[in-house]
Structure 1
């Protein structure tokens, strides 16, 4: 499970890029979305890291 953890942000970034392109927005317009995806992904990774230390 942990070895596929890097796929979460990649998939979310790709989905966000596709959404922006299909709705006529530029990548610069979606900057807040990219930041949110990055923060959420770091949070998930940190949670898994802490859980692996505890167990």
Structure 2
């Protein structure tokens, strides 16, 4: 890149896919809420298999 009349001649853009990180952060927040809860809960899938219990 070269300057033309003291102006920028280009730009550098960096992109990262943070989808997996955001999903993990969401899961951690949910787990923390469940851990701190005084109430019991159970999460099952559509076949009735237990996925999570606190």
Instruction: Specify the TM-score bucket, using the shorter chain as the normaliser.
Output: 0.3 to 0.5
Structure with the larger RCO, 1 or 2 (CA within 8 Å, 6+ apart)? 1
Structure showing the higher strand proportion among its residues: 2
Structure showing the higher helix proportion among its residues: 1
Provide the TM-score with structure 2 as the length reference.
0.42
Provide the TM-score with structure 1 as the length reference.
0.41
